[in-house]
Amino acid sequence: MLLQIMGDGTLAYDGTPPQYFMLTLLLILSVIVLIFISGKARKAVKKRFGSSQKRMEELKFEAELMDKYSTITPELIKNAEPGELLMGAALNIQKELEKNADINTAFSSLPSEKQHIYALYYFLEDSKDKLSSFFKNNGKPLTAAVLDAFKTYGNDDIYNIVKTEYGMFDEENEEMSIDYEVINKADKGFSQKFNKKDLALKLKNAGIYNISMDL
């Protein structure tokens, strides 16, 4: 039962049985839905492919850095970009830590310099959005190493902000509890005062990398 336009502009049925009209309508709707779904699927595949390709590029870059900084020499330190140096050294420390059944125990046995390198690199990764993100997603011994690193290499303002959030999220600290007003204030203060490039440069100039990458 399809409609057709007559010569005088009026509508008339073409005599198609009603059931065929419904089938035709369902077929048209099915085609529209299929086109819509196919478009969504293409976008999803493209997005997944883009994400996978990006991750492959990141893994390649990380592998290159691990190789480049597997042996750190004074000349290499001198010519290295501070952020790249921190990442390359941290990735090599992680590579060695992963050989151990108990990574936390292995980490705790590292010299303080290596603990600081490893902890600060992952701190910078996990605190990109805000300081509290790092402490929400990590625990000791990593968080304790970060606090000690800021005590050693950070200024007093930054250290005190980090110390505040460390205490808030430390499950063993019975004297402090989570206060989101304090945390939000600390997050804001940290984002205003902290500069990761300055920290990376300070680490480079402090001689922290004059160590062997072997555990």
Inter-CA distances, 204 with 35, 85, 118, 165, Å = 56, 8, 14, 26
C-beta separation of 94 from 65 below 8 A: no
- Residue 23 DSSP SS3: helix
**What is d(CA 70, CA 212) in angstroms, rounded to the nearest whole number?**
9
- pLDDT confidence bin for 5, thresholds 50/70/90: very low
More confident residue, 59 or 168: 168
Q: What is the pLDDT of residue 6?
A: 47
> DSSP of 140-200, one letter per residue?
TTHHHHHHHHHHHHS-HHHHHHHHHHHHHH-TT-SS----HHHHHHHHHHHHHH--HHHHH
Beta pairing partners, 5: 11
- Residue 5 DSSP SS3: strand
Longest dimension (CA), the chain: 94
> DSSP of 71-97, one letter per residue?
S--HHHHHHS-HHHHHHHHHHHHHHHH
The average confidence (pLDDT) of the chain is 84
- pLDDT confidence bin for 52, thresholds 50/70/90: confident
- pLDDT confidence bin for 19, thresholds 50/70/90: low
pLDDT one-digit tens code per residue, 137-159: 999 999 999 999 999 998 999 99
**What is d(CA 158, CA 164) in angstroms, rounded to the nearest whole number?**
10
Q: What is the pLDDT of residue 58?
A: 86
Q: What is the pLDDT of residue 2?
A: 47
